[in-house]
Amino acid sequence: MIRAEGIFKQFGDQEVLKGIDFTFESGKTNLIIGRSGAGKTVLLKILVGLFAPTQGRVWYNDLDYTNLDKKGILAIRKEVGMLFQGNALFDSMTIEENIRFPMDMFTPMTAKEKRMRVDEVLERVSLGGVNPKYPSQISGGMQKRVGIARAIVLKPKYLFCDEPNSGLDPKTSITIDELISDITDEENITTIINTHDMNSVMEIGENICLLKEGKLAWRGNKDQVLGTDNEELDAFIFASPFLRKLVEAAKSNGKTTLENL
């Protein structure tokens, strides 16, 4: 469980986060949603420790991450995997070297064990055989999957994904969402995804936090989205006129949950 407690973040005169309190539940796919500029990425980076909050605390179970010493922070980071918006794959390394990098750096595994683990995670993301290629030689969707493979190679307890669907076509986005959701269930990890993709919200959002202008505007799960009377969520979710018409039609037939729809 990761808990954000009274998180404020200010860059110069600009206050980006204004007192966020939210609990990201263990073993679930937690989503941080909101429009561009709402403060999603800043919150995610505070949770993972890349930014320090101006005020407030981040708890990893009983540990106050914001006040840990260097050793404590490193211990938590070894339990964290992260998929970046731009993948952050090292261009000069092959796919295999990219995935092997955390193992090379932090584990005493033998070369054979590392090779087997690389093959295992690549198979898990349905990319078996791409080991010798470079990131520039594969598509954007494949790069995302390699990013996921690298993030899970050390079997993390927490998986953070910053905009995993950005720049992908709808079908590939769904594949990535399903992959992240399946991995979360299989490995029983706590996943936190920062997204503005509607399909992600409706398909994998087990615990959702909606941000608006740096404040928590709504919390709930995917099943509570359609029946919401929260104006902010409604405006965000049904920004597409086509989707709004569809849902209005469904609601007029008395269907208010995803399953009914």
Partner 1 sequence: MKLRYLADLGKFVLWQKEVFRKPENWGMYYKELIRQMYDIGIGSLPIVLLIAVFLGAVTVVQFYYQMDGTLIPPYYIGYIVRDMMIIELAPMVTCLVLAGNVGSTMAAEIGGMRQKEHIDAMEIMGLNTSSYLVLPKLIAAAYVVPMLVCVAAIVGILGGYLASVPAGLFTQAEYVQGIRAFFIPYNVVMMLVKSVTFAIILVSVSCFQGYFVKGGSIELGAASTRAVVFGDILILLSDYFIVVLLTT
Residues 6+ apart with CB under 8 A from 80: 48, 156, 157, 158, 159, 160
Least CB distance to partner 1 at residue 242 (A): 34
Rounded to the nearest whole angstrom, what is the least distance from the CB of residue 204 to partner 1 in the complex?
22
Interface positions with partner 1 (CB under 8 A) = 48-50, 74, 77-78, 80-82, 84-86, 88, 90-91, 101-102, 104-106, 160
User: Is the CB of 74 or the CB of 235 nearer to partner 1?
Assistant: 74
- Taking the least distance from each CB to partner 1, the nearer of 82 and 118 is 82
**207 closest CA partner among 195, 193, 221, 197:** 221
Instruction: Check: CB of residue 81 under 8 Å from CB of residue 154.
Output: yes
Q: Which is nearer to partner 1, 6 or 86 (CB)?
A: 86
If the CB atoms of residues 135 and 214 are measured against partner 1, the closer one turns out to be: 135
Nearer to partner 1, 88 or 202 (CB): 88
**Beta carbon of residue 50, minimum distance to partner 1 (angstroms, whole number):** 6
> Is-contact 209 32, C-beta < 8 A?
yes
Task: Report how far residue 171's alpha carbon sits from residue 134's, in angstroms, rounded to the nearest whole number.
Answer: 24
CB of 243 to partner 1, least distance (A): 32
Whose CA is closest to 175, among 138, 148, 196?
148
Range 96-108 burial, b when 16+ CB lie within 10 A, else e: bbbbbebbeeeee
Nearest-approach distance from CB 184 to partner 1, in angstroms: 18
Cβ-based nearer residue to partner 1, 87 or 181: 87
34 sits in which H/E element: strand 29-34
| Least distance from partner 1 to the Cβ atom of residue 150, Å | 8
Please state the φ and ψ torsions of residue 50, each to the nearest 5 degrees: -80, -25
